[in-house]
Structure 1
Amino acid sequence: MNREKRWDWDKHSQFILDMIQNGDESEIEGFGGTSSDEDDPVEDPDYTPLNQESKGEVSQPREVPQPSTSTKKHLTGQENKFSWRKKPFEAPDCTFKGESVTPPDELPTPLQYFRRFITEEMIESLMEQTNLYSVQTTDTLKNVNTTVKELEILIGMYLRMGLCQLPGNRTYWENNTRCAMVADNMSRNRFQTLLASLHFADNTDSSNRQEGDKCWKIRPWLDMFRKQCLEITPEEYNSIDEQMVSFRGTRSPIRQYVKSKPHPWGFKIWARCTSTGILCDFQVYEGGTGKRTTFGMGGDVVLKLCETLPPGQNYKVFADNLFSSAPLVLELLQRQIFYTGTLRSNRLSGCQLEDDKSLAKRGRGSFDARVEKEGSMAIVKWHDNRSVTLISSHTAVEPQDKAHRWSKQEKAFLDVNRPHIVKEYNTFMGGVDLIDGCIARYKYNMRSRRWYIYLFWHSIMLALVNAWLTYRRDCKLLGQRGRPSLDSKTPSPPAPPKRVRVGVPDDVRLDQVAHWPVKCAKRGRCKICKTNATTTVCEKCDVLCPVECSVRTCTK
């Protein structure tokens, strides 16, 4: 009986080694050639033909490995957990129970507002580590011997550079571009020496290098700054979003690339701000862990930033579609934190909504909504210029209002129906964007080879904007307006008296006698036309006017 040849390599391995050691090439020449079963030197008792079954045995089907329970849960995304109905959404009782913001008895000074976030303790720690780092990095063990006062001057100079931005640090000391408020406070060489010596953690202390902490070089400073931000009384409405700190260098373990950002290369920071833009909590993104979680990376960020919100107080949190999912909304609802955000089409958790084409045919302002079977949340899809999907645990469609929108076809403004969830999202979502806009106006790009220095200067700008926004909130609560004075107890100086120009009487101006145009040394605008600049003045009326206007000036 012919059958396919099959070798048992375990049994023939010794036979092959003997042939190689003996050097008998005649035995190796036929090795590997085709032969019949009778030519096999050793019969393989375990051989079973691939196309035949052993007598008396029934072949069993091959068992396919099944995914584990945790894998099934991730693959389904908990979609089977939710069931959606087309019914009105009953809004829960979401009355805010948290601590309300109380205004101060007297407005602090601008420096006191700033010291709420950059304390003297933080500056003293910066001074100690800067002096230590200068000794460790120089061959001569020379100490920069900086002080708290000098570091405060350094921070003030940086803030001044943001108001008067020049290309490069050296230009502030050059003769043609000298800035007195910068150059008069510190020499250029001393300024650059301090910049090169700024440090925040001891490199020789192994306890600072915690496992998995990529920001250990600036971790003490970030922890102290975050502690000061957490002391702010949180408001009812909070927004969570990402910030980008621009950094084009390559020597950084946490650099990210986000192509949709104005500064795609840099460091990503997750931030939780109030609806007025005040930063309350943040977290520097150090890269993904590679582990799959129930809520995803964005959901884990929201849960982490909401841990510092007191539970059971009915806070409202808003975020975009990077973070939103139905399991996240349900998890926050168990903490009595209500969530509202945009939702991606692949995170609907089994909710069937009208497609974009159907809503577009119905026109702008059309929407479709579904409510979870237990009434815990609602998903609304609204069509404006394009369709957008939102999810919320405390609001849905009603009460609707009108949105003012421009129509390209009709070349006019139209009133479009807008669900209440869209209005809530547009009103309270822009807190992080507000603080980003304030920072971008006056942030000076201080270049450095050390990547963590960029995070330090960014924290200084965050503290400055936080101080300004906190002052605005206090003024609104007190019903005051205006900028804070350096000393609130010092009364403001009286306004200078307004200069009143006394002209000649009309009977003299219109007598048409001796109104001669003459030249004067001072150039000014014509009193009649207000546009022509002239040096001609009426000798009698003492009024600037060119010759072509002198007739109207002295006759009308």
Structure 2
Amino acid sequence: MLRRIKGVTLRERERSTDIRRELEVSDINEKVKEIRMREEGHPANVAMESIVPGRRPRGRAKKRCRDKVEEDMGHFGMRPEKALKRETWRRKTRAADPARRDQQPPPAWPGYKRRFHKAGNVLQTSLVFTSGPSCSYSRRPHAQNNERHVTRIRPEEMPLDDDAGEDDEDETVSGDTPPPTKKVKKAKDQPSRVWKKEDIGHTPLPEYNHPVPDFLLKPYEFFLQMLTMEILEDIVYQTNLYARQKDVSTAFSLDIQDLMVFLGIILYMGVVHIPSLDDYWAVNTRIPQVTDYMSAKRFKQLRSTIHFNNNDYAKASTDRFYKIRPLFTGITKQFLRVKETPHQSVDEVMVAYKGTMAGNLRQYIANKPDKFGYKLFCHASIDGFIHDVQMYQGQTTFSSHPVDLNEEEEEQLLSNRIVIVLAKTIKDPANSAIYADNYFTSIQLVEFLKDKLQCRYVGTARPNRIGNPPLMSRKEMEKTTTPRGKHDYVSCNGVLAMCWKDNKPVTILSFDAGVLPLSKAKRWDKESKKKVDIPCPAVIKENNGKMGGIDKSDMLTHLYKSPMKARPYYLRLFGYILDLCTTNAWILYKRDSKALSEKPMPLKNFRLEISVFARGYKTRPARCLRDTPESFVRPKKGQKSHRPADNLRYDYSKFHCPVFVKQRMTCKYCSTHKEMHRSRWVCKVCQVALCHSETRNCFEEFHIPPASNSPSTSTSSNNE
């Protein structure tokens, strides 16, 4: 009800506490506490408090009414004995309504006086009324079973304490002062606007002309322009650093070749989807394009260890996206180097995430395909190339962005500041126009962009954020007697405010296109059961045709989505970065192809070309003499390998050469029961495994006859 009174919807993200403070309406919970304290402070309730005898049941104690009253007393910073000080009790407990929070307390009840004194170990409280005798209620704190005693005392017989006159004075108690209220910014005087019934006209923006390249680059070259080798080398460094931080003695190591293979596999998985990640390496569903380049264990190890920033400085940072901030900073720096089109669009993007590891970084938007996820604000060209990304994270959203805001810009609404930050990264704002939806648009934003940045703006708006122009009301537009296509418009200082009836009334602000020339729009007519033409202003046609840059990019990134479901919350953003870099690279590839009058390849083939390059990036040594001999029979597990005959072992007429095998086996020459040595080198003639390395060369010693291998023989041969 309060939001309807103020004209604020839930999409504007305005807190209920701010609305109640502005309308001076109390919170219902605070009002209930005030009522409880008012009843608790009544003299009869204070004097006649009773305790029910008996034992409480076992288990967790249920909350009683008295327990709730004690919580309320702690909330207001009160004590039970202060209930007899009526002015103090009222002032402290009547703090629910903001309108009367600073008012003076009402005077004491007429004819009512309060007296209390001690008589031995009995605290006597007297309620004195001028109209008759008073009742004095006494409580003995040390009496058995907490019995209450009621004593009748005449006013003239009642003894008074020396401090009785000080009862009405306030006592300084910690917590008595109400908590400080949040400072509310004073609204500045709204500028007076003179609306006139006239159209606006601006010179059309120049068409976008893409520079003609000398030749068409390869797909992976476009991709490496977005995700550069410097960024990849930084990922390798941070991943190895994180592995050492977890375990100093770890054997994990990552190089640029393994990282490229890892990225190539992820890009391929985005095209070829399988229900489970393990199915890529399973026997029945094995995919050679994945299994031939990396094992499942290595892939999962890289996915769980990959890192983008140093964790040692994470706690000292106010950036809630600290762990992935260098990656976003690096790619947006590359995106901003690409030339923008004159028409830009600003909108929000949802990166799907339903986990709980990110806390309240996960947002919810009902009308998005991915309702749960991270919210990113982007500005893109008309063809879907995203140039800048701003990650929403609450209060630190703007402090984490490289663009700074001055005091005048800080006073703008949240939605206005988002557009201002994104508009400042445009290279030529004077020759650009921004298109946005009603979440961002307001008359203050349009005037700020017009005066400060000389940037044009067109966007649908909410009726309460357009400066109250003299237009047809929404109720009149919604009437059935108002025909579809009806429009009303006014302008002020070159800014157009227009209301147009489509299926529903549409309100729009424009500092670019005007109403004329009118065109026709096709709409379905229920009565005639066919599409009919209705009048459509030029600004509506311009907005519908140039608003969908962000939506186009969002559609392209969802076509082939990288599977990055993992426990670390930032891996979903890493998967989105891979998809976004691929999409932006493809759009840039299309621009070059169009400039060279060549037919571009589809996005799927473009992505697969990048995957093939990345998976083949790791250089492999030559495989000469590294194939297992066809005649070699591997011994079964638990069985000893055969021992070759001496005439075959020492026959130098045969070619005894080492052959590399994939699986290690026990060396036949140097291994003993207590000390085993394994090798991947097998003699091609003897068919046994032998050590063949820098530290141990059993291959040579195994083929020397015993007579020539004796010390005497070797000594005589050396003397000769």
**Does residue 1:450 correspond to 2:450, yes or no?**
no
* Equivalent position SS for 1:273: strand
Corresponding residue for residue 319 of structure 1: 436
2:120 to 23, 42, 58: 23
The answer on whether the counterparts of 2:442 and 2:465 sit within 8 Å (CA) in structure 1 is yes
Matched, 1:199 2:307: yes
2:149: which partner in 1? none
Cross-structure match for 1:387: 505
Partner of 1:132: 241
The correspondence for 1:72, drawn from 164, 187, 193, is: 187
Aligned to 1:243: 349
Are residue 266 (structure 1) and residue 373 (structure 2) matched?
A: yes
Partner of 2:577: 459
1:229 alignment counterpart:
335
* In 1: Cα distance, 2:569 partner to 2:168 partner: 65
Q: 1:506-545 alignment to 2 at 5 Å?
A: none
Of 445, 457, 481, 2:599 maps to 481
Aligned to 1:89: 199
Identical aligned pairs, as a percentage? Answer: 30
For the Cα contact (< 8 Å) 1:134–1:197, is it kept in 2? yes
Q: Secondary structure at the match of 1:433?
A: helix
Residue 90 of structure 1 aligns to which amino acid in structure 2? I
CA contact (8 A) 2:466 2:509 kept: no
Who is 1:33 aligned against? 127
Mark the structure with the bigger radius of gyration.
2
Aligned to 2:486: 366
1:116 aligns with 2:219: no
Larger CA deviation: 291-300 vs 433-442: 291-300
Cα deviation for residue 45 of structure 1 reads 11
Name the amino acid aligned to 2:545. T
Task: Say if 2:279 and 2:286, in contact at 8 Å, map to a contact too.
Answer: yes
Give the residue type in structure 1 aligned to 2:191. Answer: K
Q: Secondary structure, in 3 states, of the residue corresponding to 2:390?
A: strand
The DSSP-based 3-state class of the residue aligned with 2:366 is coil
Q: Residues 199-218 of structure 1, C-alpha deviation per residue, up to 9 Å, x if partnerless?
A: 011112x2x55542101111
2:235–2:307: 8 Å Cα contact kept in structure 1? yes
> Is 1:297 aligned to residue 414 of structure 2?
yes
Q: 2-side partners of 1:433 and 1:84: how far apart? A: 36
When residues 415 and 329 of structure 1 are mapped into structure 2, their CA distance, relative to the original with a 3 A threshold, is same
In 2: Cα distance, 1:233 partner to 1:472 partner? 14
1:285 paired to 2:382 = no
- Aligned residue for 1:160? 268
SS of the residue 1:151 aligns to: helix
1:332 maps onto 2:449 in alignment: yes
RMSD: 3.0
Q: TM-score, normalised by structure 2?
A: 0.58
For structure 1, the residue ranges without an aligned partner over 5 or more in a row are 49-66, 488-556
Instruction: Tell me the amino acid that sits aligned with residue 165 of structure 1.
Output: H
Q: Is the 8 A contact 1:82 1:349 kept in 2?
A: no
Distance in 2 between residues matched to 1:247 and 1:167, nearest whole Å = 18
What CA distance in whole angstroms lies between the structure 1 residues aligned with 2:511 and 2:459? 10
Query: Quick one: distance in 2 between partners of 1:196 and 1:289?
Result: 28
2:434 and 2:225 map into 1 onto residues whose CA distance is 25
2:41 match: none
SS at match of 1:266: strand
Partner SS, residue 145 of structure 1: coil
SS in 2 for 1:361: coil
Partner residue of 1:215?
321
Q: 1:346 to 1:290 in 2, by over 3 A?
A: farther
CA distance in 2, matches of 1:290, 1:350: 30
Q: Is the 8 A contact 1:209 1:216 kept in 2?
A: no
| Paired residue type of 1:128 | Y
Q: Decide whether aligned partners of structure 1 residues 82 and 278 sit closer, same or farther in structure 2, where only a CA change above 3 A counts.
A: farther
The one-letter amino acid paired with 1:448 is A
Query: Is the 1:84–1:370 contact (alpha carbons within 8 Å) kept by the matching residues of 2?
Result: no
TM-superposed CA distance for 1:460, in Å, is 0.6
- Aligned partner of 2:352: which letter? S
Alpha-carbon separation, structure 1, partners of 2:546 and 2:249: 53
Query: Conserved in 1, the CA contact under 8 Å of 2:346 and 2:378?
Result: yes
Q: CA deviation at 1:103?
A: 2.7
Maintained 8 Å contact 1:165/1:444: no
What code does the residue aligned with 1:371 have? S
Deviation at 1:24, TM superposition (A): 4.5
Whether the aligned pair in 1 keeps the contact of 2:430 and 2:456 (CA below 8 Å) is: no
Counterpart position of 1:411: 529
Higher relative contact order (CA 8 A, sep 6+): 1
Does the 8 Å CA contact 2:590/2:600 hold for their aligned counterparts? Answer: no
CA deviation after TM superposition for structure 1 residue 260, in Å:
2.1
Superposition deviation, residue 6 in structure 1? 4.8
**Closer/same/farther in 2, CA of residues 68 and 265 from structure 1, 3 Å limit:** closer
- Indicate if the aligned counterparts of 2:457 and 2:511 stay in contact, CA closer than 8 A: yes
Alignment partners' CA distance in 2, 1:133 and 1:319: 41
1:394 Cα deviation (Å)?
Answer: 1.6
Shift of 1:265: 1.3
Change (3 A) 1:401 1:168: same
Gap change, CA 1:446 and 1:289, over 3 Å in 2: closer
1:276 to 383, 390, 398: 383
1:90: Cα distance to partner?
2.8
Shift of 1:269: 0.6
Which TM-score applies when normalising by structure 1? 0.74
Cα 1:187/1:351, change in 2 over 3 Å: same
* Post-superposition offset of 1:250: 0.3
Tell me, yes or no, if structure 1 residue 471 matches structure 2 residue 568: no
Q: Which runs of 5 or more structure 2 residues have no equivalent in the other structure? A: 1-108, 131-154, 170-181, 399-408, 611-720
- Do the aligned residues in 2 keep the contact of 1:275 with 1:430 (CA within 8 Å)? yes
Gap change, CA 1:393 and 1:40, over 3 Å in 2: farther
Cα deviation per residue 1:407-437 (whole Å; 9 max; x = unaligned)? 2321222122110111111111000100111
Structure 2 equivalent of residue 506 of structure 1 = none
CA distance in 1, matches of 2:315, 2:214: 44
2:425 to 301, 308, 317: 308
Query: Which deviates further from its counterpart, 82-91 or 126-135?
Result: 82-91
Distance verdict in 2 for CA 1:476–1:378, change over 3 Å: same
CA deviation after TM superposition for structure 1 residue 288, in Å: 4.5
